[in-house]
Amino acid sequence: MLMIIFIICMLAVFGKLVLLAVKGAWGLTKIMFSLVFLPIVLIGLVLKGLIIIALPVLVVIGIGSLLLGAVV
């Protein structure tokens, strides 16, 4: 009986820790993509001569960040 209670409590504690780790990793992934990956892609597009694609992407992301930045 004590073994079952121990297993249930252990799963509850470590389940919460796993959820916390996933939330933290998701936040870190979003930060890495927005601060590192996206500017590198945009610079790469400009260097490859695809400014016709990079400029509208930059404008859309800029407008989105302005609108979402006001809400958050």
d(Cα 72, Cα 63) in Å, to the nearest integer? 14
Residue type, 1: M
d(Cα 5, Cα 10) in Å, to the nearest integer? 8
Q: Is the pLDDT of residue 71 over 80?
A: no
The three-state secondary structure class of 45 is helix
pTM for the model stands at 0.55
Q: Which domain holds residue 19?
A: 2-71
Res 72: pLDDT? 46
- Please count the structural domains in the chain: 1
Contacts of 61 (CB under 8 A, 6+ apart): 38
Res 70: pLDDT? 55
Over residues 2-17, mean pLDDT: 80
Classify each residue of 28-44 as buried b or exposed e, where b means 16 or more C-beta atoms within 10 Å of its C-beta: eeeeeeeeeeeeeebee
Over residues 41-57, mean pLDDT: 87
Computed over every residue of the chain, the mean pLDDT equals: 82
